[in-house]
Amino acid sequence: MSIIAGHKITKNLIENISFPSNEVMLDLKDLKKVYPTPKGDYVVLEHLNLQIRKEEFVTIIGHSGCGKTTMLSMIAGLNPISDGSISVLGKPIKGPGPDRGVIFQSPSLMPWMTSLQNVLLGVNQVFPHATKAQRKDIAKYYLQKVGLEDAFHKKASELSQGMQQRVGIARAFAIKPKVLLLDEPFGMLDSLTRGELQDILIEIWNKEKITAVMITHDVDEAIFLADRVVMMTSGPKAKIGDILDINFDRPRTRKSVLEHDDYYTYRKHLIDFLEH
Amino acid sequence: MKATATLGKVSNFLGLGFFLTLKDLFTGKLQKEELKNFLRKTIVPLASILLFFGLWHLGAKSLYNIEADFKIEKALKDQGQTAAEALKACMASGDSSCQPNTLPSPSQVWSSFQSLLRDHNIISADKAAFAEKTAALNETRISEGKDAIVYTGRPSFVDQIYRSLQTVFAGFLLALFIAVPLGIFIGLSPTLKSAFNWFIQIFKPVSPVVWYLLVFMIVKTLLIGSADDSSFTISFISVGLCSMWATLVNTTMGVSSVDKDYVNVAKVLKLGTFQKIFKVILPSSLPLIFTGLKITLSVAWMVLIAIELLAQSPGLGLFVWEEFQNGANDSNAKIIVAMFVIGIIGFLLDRLMLTIQNWVSFDKTDAI
């Protein structure tokens, strides 16, 4: 599903092919991260086990400094694993790669490139056999999806923070990753923009159904987006403290979620965890 | 309207924005609350320029008096009353043959500047006449396979400025083509960095004079048997080697300190080495590379004078040296003219680099 052969037409490159669920996409086994310090080893994570199913959206919540970001960057392959293993579809990961797309906390766009060029940077890499026009179409398709059809040729440095993060979302989806990793992508935005971007994210996600792991500090965001909310204990030696299933139907709207009877039960569960 | 815009562009380019304010004052466009700003931006620089020339004038006058008194007293002691009186009268008449040799006044410098320009016109006319006279002869000589006859008269001041600019640009390009690629390689590889670090640290502070001598030793041997004048080659290579360090260090720093987020993006997208360098690392280090190049150009211009002087390569440096050795009445004034020309050209080169930097750099606030 990730890399589709080049001879297919653009439409096929974009459209998703549906797979049976319940298959484990991302498997973290006995994960451990140790930073050696002069005063001895500092264990950030230990005995961390988590299985994420295909097409599942998981949000991870926990106190600052509990190792959420460390875990995510280990999944991305940007941070070496001290012990245990991380596998994607049963295959252990070896360093970073485009099968795991990342949306960083800061948009991390190349400021000297236009939004289109920024998205193309990834697309060119993942679809080397597609024609130039096809690759451009893919990039434009995703930029349209995030509402940037008027800003293809704007330099990233000229865009607002929220617009930049939209490009970040487009760039991540356009490379058709198996797993999407989101490291507090809306943490730096004001609440209004954050709401807009959550809607955009969930709208694309509903269509693409890419397995997603997202770190957040925001309890409402965690509930609104996720199938499961994973709560991490505070570090050092952080691990999974609790997992909460969110049984709202998809596609969801903010209104229907807020009006659902279970919403406040879920919210209370999460807040109780965080306050203890 | 168009003229105003052009004037604005030119004065902003020169960093002399106050010209515009001055223009607004005369055209009555200035608001009352802008008066304070106007005072600071226009009156203060103008006043400081006037003060500078005033102090210079007074200083030159007092130095003149010291030198004149000494000369007259010496004449009195050595040659007696009549000779001293004659010298005094000669000085008062303004005859150039008996003027004291000291710091020239602003007006003397100005008249020297004009005489240098006149001299340039005479030499240009002379050259044109020579070219016309020899055109037919040269044609036949070339058709016979002989070398053409070229003008070998002394160069004018403007020719020397032109020659200096050629030398500095050749040296700058050499520095660019050595320092930027080398800086990229060193910045990318920690191994190369430790291999080159001692080299950079040791050779960076070496004086231009020593670089010149080193280049002289090498080029002299390499060009052995060649009849061509090697002074230009030697001086531009020396200028390049002296000035390349700022670019080398800045490029290395720029390349090795690319924002970690960009590097992570490159890693996640699995960009190849070539793509990583040209799409991520180079563009992101351009501002620092340009800061380095700006320093390189100004250093190149600064050491050029010393190196031309040593290398006996035609140019402003040699001009200054020859005038100093010459010791004619207006030599000192010509040296000061050269000083101003060097300063103004250095300033314009700096502005030129700043403009290019602003133009290529993605972050418009970054340029200093």
What pLDDT digit, counting tens, does each position of A25-68 carry? 899 998 889 988 888 888 888 888 999 998 899 999 988 878 88
Mutate which of A108, A113, A119, A127 to disrupt the B interface (most B C-beta within 10 Å)?
A108
Q: Which residue of B has its CA nearest to A96?
A: B268
Q: pLDDT of A187-236, one tens digit each?
A: 888 888 899 899 999 989 988 889 999 999 889 999 999 999 999 988 78
Does the pLDDT at position A16 exceed 50?
no
Q: Does domain B155-360 have CATH number 1.10.3720.10?
A: yes
Mean pLDDT value across residues B61-81: 87
**Per-residue pLDDT reduced to its tens digit, B272-308:** 888 899 889 998 998 899 999 999 999 999 998 888 8
Question: By residue range, what is the domain housing residue A53?
Answer: 23-99+210-276
Chain B residue numbers touching A111 (CB-CB < 8 A): 362-363
* DSSP conformational letter for A238: B
Each residue's pLDDT tens digit, B197-236: 998 899 888 888 888 889 888 888 888 877 777 888 888 9
Structure tokens at B13: 């380019």
User: Does residue A195 lie in a domain region?
Assistant: no
Q: How far apart are CA A92 and CA A88, in angstroms?
A: 6
Write out chain A residues lying below 8 Å of B278, CB-based. Answer: none
pLDDT band at residue B312 using 50, 70 and 90 as cut-offs: confident
Number of domains present in the structure of chain A? 1
Average pLDDT over residues B250-258: 92
For residue B284, list chain A residues with Cβ-Cβ distance below 8 A: 110, 112
DSSP annotation of B40 reads I
Helices B157-188 & B231-256, crossing angle to 10 degrees?
40
Domain assignments of chain B as residue spans, ordered by start: 2-98, 155-360
Q: In the beta sheet, which residues pair with residue A57?
A: A212
Question: How big is the A-B interface in CB pairs under 8 Å?
Answer: 59
Look at A19-23, A156-160, A264-268 and tell me which has the smallest mean pLDDT. A19-23
Find the closest chain B residue to A112 by CA distance.
B362
B265:A108 CB<8 A:
yes
Q: Cβ of A95 under 8 Å from any chain B Cβ?
A: yes
List chain B residues with CB under 8 Å of A77: 267-268
Tell me the residue type at A166. R
Q: Which of B262, B267, B268 sits opposite A110 (nearest CB)?
A: B262
Listed residue (B243, B359, B361) closest to B295, CA to CA: B243
Chain A residues with beta carbon closer than 8 angstroms to that of B283: 110, 112-113
Query: Which runs of E-coded beta strand occur in A19-152?
Result: 24-37, 40-53, 57-61, 83-88, 91-92, 100-103
Report the first-to-last Cα separation within chain A, whole angstroms: 42
Residue B21 pLDDT? 59
Does B270 sit within 8 Å of A98, measured CB to CB? yes
List of chain B residues whose C-beta atoms are within 8 Å of the C-beta of residue A97: 268, 270
Please, which pLDDT band fits residue A7 given cuts at 50, 70 and 90?
very low
B269 touches chain A (CB under 8 A): yes
Q: Does A102 touch chain B (CB under 8 A)?
A: yes
In this predicted model, which residue has the larger pLDDT, A74 or A1?
Answer: A74
pLDDT of residue A213: 94
Whether the CB of A96 is below 8 Å from some CB of chain B: the reply is yes
pLDDT at res. B19: 61
CB spacing of A96 vs B284 below 8 angstroms: no
Q: Would you call A110 and B280 a contact, using CB atoms and an 8 Å cutoff?
A: yes
Tell if the CB–CB gap between B268 and A102 is shorter than 8 Å: yes
Mutation target among A88, A125, A182 for the B interface, most CBs of B within 10 A: A125
The answer to whether residue A94 sits within a structural domain is yes
Q: In the predicted model, is pLDDT for residue A17 greater than 50?
A: no
> Token pair of B359, please?
């133009």
pLDDT at A1: 40
| Interchain CB distance below 8 Å, A106 and B270 | no
Q: pTM of the full predicted structure?
A: 0.77
The CA distance from A216 to A204, in Å, is 19
Q: Comparing B293 with B2, which gets the higher pLDDT?
A: B293
Q: pLDDT digit string (tens) for B121-161?
A: 998 888 888 888 888 888 888 888 777 777 777 788 888 89
CA A262 – CA B330 distance, rounded (Å): 97
CATH number at residue A56: 3.40.50.300
Torsion, Cα of B52, B54, B57, B62 (10° steps): -110
Nearest CA in chain A to B267: A96
B92-118 pLDDT, tens digit each: 777 777 778 888 889 889 989 999 999
Q: Do A110 and B268 touch (CB under 8 A)?
A: no
Which band of pLDDT confidence, cut at 50, 70 and 90, is reported for residue A134? Answer: very high
Residue A173's pLDDT band, with cuts at 50, 70 and 90, is: very high
What's B68-121 look like in SS3? HHHHHHHHHHHHCHHHHHHHHHHHHHCCHHHCCCCCCCHHHHHHHHHHHHHHHH
Separation CA A229–CA A214 (nearest Å): 10
pLDDT of residue B32: 67
Fill in the amino acid letter for B216.
Answer: F
In the stretch 279-338 of chain B, residues with CB closer than 8 A to chain A read 279-280, 283-284, 286
* A100 touches B: beta carbon within 8 Å: yes
Q: What percent of chain B has pLDDT over 90?
A: 30
Q: Above pLDDT 70, what percent of chain A? A: 92
Pairing of strands A57-61, A211-215: parallel
Instruction: Tell me the mean pLDDT in the region A126-130.
Output: 89
More confident residue, B151 or B2: B151
Which among A210, A233, A221 is positioned nearest to A187, based on CA atoms?
A221
Interval B156-206: pLDDT, tens = 888 889 999 999 999 999 999 999 999 999 999 889 999 999 988 998 888
Residue A69 covered by a domain:
yes
Percentage of chain A lying above the pLDDT 90 cut: 38
Which residue in this structure is represented by tokens 């996640």?
B268
Query: Rounded mean pLDDT of B311-318?
Result: 86
Please tell me the predicted confidence (pLDDT) of residue A105.
87
CB of A121 less than 8 A from some CB of B:
yes
